[in-house]
Structure 1
Amino acid sequence: MRSLRTGLSLASLVSGLALLLGAPPAQAADAPLRDLADAKSKVIGTAVTGSKLTGTYGEIAAREFNALTPGNAMKWGSVEPTRGTFNWAEADQIVNFAEANGQQVRGHTLVWHSQNPSWLTNGTWTTAELRQLMTDHIATEVGRYKGRLETWDVVNEPFNEDGTYRQTLWYNGLGADYIAEALTAARAADPSAKLYINDYNVEGVNAKSTALYNLVKSLKERGVPIDGVGLQAHLILGQVPATLQQNIQRFADLGLDVAITELDIRMNLPSDSAKLAQQAAEYKQVMNACVAVARCVGVTVWGFTDSDSWIPDTFPGQGAATPYDENFAPKPAYHAIAEALGGTTTPPTGCTVTYSVVHQWNGGFTGQVRIDCSGASLASWKANWTFGAGQQLTQAWNANCTQSGSAVNCSNASYNGTVPDGGSVTFGFNASWSGSNPVPVVTLG
């Protein structure tokens, strides 16, 4: 449904003097989200922008998630902007990245009313021509990735809010059976991929979700290939449907898989601790509903960082909808997801770490790391990060620092291990760099 935002690269933000960027607090002591999800045989996925799969963004996407969804790269307007001319560059990039990191890919999306090329939407087609265009497109795209994608959102958003069919190019030109025809074409193109119908505002039991329920029940009865339903879950703070788990279960009872495919929970800005705590509780509520139903295969967040979220551009004055803030710091929602997936160890509450580049010159820079505690204290500390572009530590003060390969490990000196509630400690270092100097994710150990 949504487009992920584009923006400046992290490397470009790093350049210059006196840059201060908040790094995340320590991750939960558990394994990354993907390992927790794997242990429960669940998917924890994220939508991604292919051009950003480098640096910290790429590291988090690979470390935390066992599935990726291309945010825009596989939509018709992206892959065939001109009739017969295809651009697979970003889609291929995402699939290759996922395969290199042992991740599933969810294909998104084949037949939709939006983000279609103008040559398609502005054309004049007979019924036979339109059907051929649709089935050829499915055969081409699904066939390109045959055997490489776990799932496809074959048909996206077919219903109005009242449960009637949305008036679209496909419905108006082919009738309601365009959905069955699309699913049949997708099965022919890749018999091993799981095929889904995906929609929004179908998370709870309502007229729209009941229409979807009746459709997929009918498709199964007719023998049309349909493996699952996707509940997008673009939610608003305070409005998680009370019937979410009940709704998931009724689709599962049809013998279908269910996936939460595009989860985010937006709030009125600015965010504050109370809103973030409520958001965390609601992320956990959604996760718990999926975990509780065996045939709920998992949850995908629609972008994991607020810097890559569609919300602010679409809903002015709203945002902060994802598990990470714009500086890649995990928010309470991140830890709520971990807990719902069986995580048992919470992060060191109230202690955060901030990495900053205080001075940079050709070939070198001075960095600073600050640890602040509020509502907690530390008797000793360790700060760890990975340099992503070949930077090399040359000197450190107020900490004992070592570097092995790209991994940097710093621990307190004999005189500054204690950080009281309301206190802080700072250490610094010099390092070399060449080409780029991306900001690392720092964790407290």
Structure 2
Amino acid sequence: MDLVMRRSGGRLAGPCALLAGALALGTALLGGPAVAASPETTLHELASAQGRYFGSATDNSELTDTAYTAVLGSEFGQITPGNSMKWDTTEPVQGQFKFAKGDVITDFGRQHGQSVRGHTLVWHSQLPSWVGALPPEQVEPAMVNHITEVATHYRGAVTAWDVVNEPFNEDGTYRTSPFHTAMGSDYIATALRAAHAADPEAKLYLNDYNIEGLGAKSDAMYALVTELLAEGVPLDGVGMQAHLAVQYGFPYEMRANMQRFADLGLDVAVTELDVRMQLPADATKLATQSSYYQRVVEACLAVERCVGVTVWDWTDKYSWVPSTFPGQGAANLYDENLLPKPALAAVRTALGAEDDDGEGEGDGATLKAQYRTNDSATGDNQIKPGLQLVNTGSTAVSLQDVTVRYWFTGENGASTYSTWCDWSPLGCSAVTSRVAAWNPAAAGADHYLEAGFRSGSLAPGASTGEIQLRLNKTDWSRFDESDDYSHSGATSYADAAKVAVYVGGELVWGIEP
């Protein structure tokens, strides 16, 4: 399956940089997962064309990672705060509310044209200790006050709320919590009414895991929402978390289960999708993972009132799975290096993406960049990246259309540079190189080395082989590569997310700073 690295942010891709390719005749095939050309449309754009949204969870600590936020802000049309709107964050001390962390999330969404799902107003977990210490008669007013304050604060910034999260045990009985202990199951209706009073425009949901398929737990949710609707309680939808695992079967009759909730006049949303596996990952597990992701999206698209899909973060780098399920992980659409996995292509296929190997700009190019450093000294007067391109597609790529960029900082000294190709199996006469300023400058990136090609083509499955590049300032002053955007200490070739590849001026691999 083809995988995709999207253009990050709103910057137009220019002709570009390091790594590159040339004639493919006789070059070796390289193994590893295939990564395809950048699609013309994002996941959210594909979903929007189907009348849905496609979103991702996120959290405050992740928003300092510029490579991460570039994808988060461009690929997804909806975000959910993982922790910053939960009770222990928003009201750690009774009556003292803190909204700074949640405000960062809603501000990010506003800046990137994304809707925000509020998560969560009432949950048995991540409660400050004072809630559990309340006398039973004080729990209801404390809960109503909490909902009122939080939902009022985010009125207009949040389009939907997971009002009550995870109310059921696996057998369909009600989960023990301070709220259920004090009020019985009535706490759910009380919470929904309070949320509606605080924000009448927000969509209100009940949210739980293991209710994706037909079974005791989803039956209990179905009975509850039927009763709430009959009583006129404000309720707009049911959130199905969809924390799945390849070692377990796919949820039984997911589409039929979604449809029965929709038939009650409720919206359905997939709110926390990921698909974990026992580590290490292998081709078989990844194929099953891809199938599960695709089937979830297809089920949502088949039910008119399924409004969208949110993945529980988009990269394994920030997944909750390894810390919660020891020995498991690799649950997301992109790996820990922010590189796409086969599941991404499966999701795009389910959303109706056109074949990325078809006709169009870039000749259907499916290229990836690999990198290693050829200089262990990060503080000397030269930068020596080793780069190679791999064609993972099914059609040849004209190298004259290809450029590659490697970002670095110039530090002090001369602002003019000399560049060299020291060796390439293609012949250095076929390789071009130059240094240009990156505007506006970003962390670790105020310049980039750009490599291109004068001629040649790269056959399907072929590699350019190593291209040894070098640059220096014309006064031979020193660099500090330790914090450069594209630099790593890798001494063997590996897929490089921070080295960008362009075909015909369009970004097809990597994340710009």
Structure-1-length-normalised TM-score: 0.86
Partner of 2:124: 113
Partner of 1:76: 87
Q: Do structure 1's residue 371 and structure 2's residue 429 form an aligned pair? A: no
Partner of 1:99: 110
Q: Which runs of 5+ in 1 are unaligned?
A: 1-21
User: Contact 2:379/2:480 (CA < 8 Å) preserved in 1?
Assistant: no
Structure 1 residues 357 and 71: CA distance shift in structure 2, 3 A: farther
Separation in structure 2 between the aligned mates of residue 352 and residue 322 of structure 1, nearest angstrom: 20
Q: How many residues align?
A: 422
Structure 1 residues 388 and 79: CA distance shift in structure 2, 3 A: farther
Q: Which runs of 5+ in 2 are unaligned?
A: 1-31, 358-363, 422-430, 441-446, 473-478, 487-497, 504-513
Separation in structure 1 between the aligned mates of residue 465 and residue 188 of structure 2, nearest angstrom: 60
Partner of 2:163: 154
Secondary structure at the residue paired with 1:307? helix
Bigger shift: 220-229 or 420-429? Answer: 420-429
**Partner amino acid, structure 2, of 1:438:** Y
For the aligned residue pairs, the C-alpha RMSD in angstroms reads 3.0
* 1:143-191 deviation per Cα after TM superposition (whole angstroms, max 9, x unaligned): 1111111110000000111111111111011111100000000011111
* 1:247-305 deviation per Cα after TM superposition (whole angstroms, max 9, x unaligned): 11111111111000000111111111222122112111110000111110111001111
Structure-2-length-normalised TM-score: 0.75
Report 1:187-206 matches (<5 A).
187-206=196-215
Structure 1 residues 311 and 441: CA distance shift in structure 2, 3 A: farther
Partner of 1:339: 349
Shift of 1:410: 5.1
User: Contact 1:390/1:434 (CA < 8 Å) preserved in 2?
Assistant: no
Structure 1 residues 67 and 232: CA distance shift in structure 2, 3 A: same
Partner of 1:294: 304
Q: Do structure 1's residue 219 and structure 2's residue 228 form an aligned pair? A: yes
Separation in structure 1 between the aligned mates of residue 416 and residue 283 of structure 2, nearest angstrom: 36
User: Contact 1:113/1:169 (CA < 8 Å) preserved in 2?
Assistant: yes
Report 1:272-311 matches (<5 A).
272-311=282-321
Report 1:14-413 matches (<5 A).
25-53=35-63, 54-121=65-132, 123-127=133-137, 129-237=138-246, 239-346=249-356, 351-356=367-372, 359=375, 360-361=378-379, 365-373=383-391, 376=394, 378-381=396-399, 382-383=402-403, 394=417, 395=419, 397=421, 398-400=431-433, 403=436, 405=439, 412-413=452-453
Structure 1 residues 85 and 385: CA distance shift in structure 2, 3 A: farther
Secondary structure at the residue paired with 2:465? strand
User: Contact 1:354/1:369 (CA < 8 Å) preserved in 2?
Assistant: yes
Separation in structure 1 between the aligned mates of residue 177 and residue 295 of structure 2, nearest angstrom: 34
Larger radius of gyration: 2
Between 1 and 2, higher relative CO (CA 8 Å, sep ≥ 6) is seen in 2
Bigger shift: 26-35 or 414-423? Answer: 414-423
Separation in structure 2 between the aligned mates of residue 349 and residue 270 of structure 1, nearest angstrom: 30
- Seq. identity, %: 42
* 1:311-355 deviation per Cα after TM superposition (whole angstroms, max 9, x unaligned): 111111111110000000010111111111111123679753224
Separation in structure 2 between the aligned mates of residue 113 and residue 73 of structure 1, nearest angstrom: 16
User: Contact 2:370/2:388 (CA < 8 Å) preserved in 1?
Assistant: yes
Query: Which one of 409, 425, 431 corresponds to residue 465 of structure 2?
Result: 425
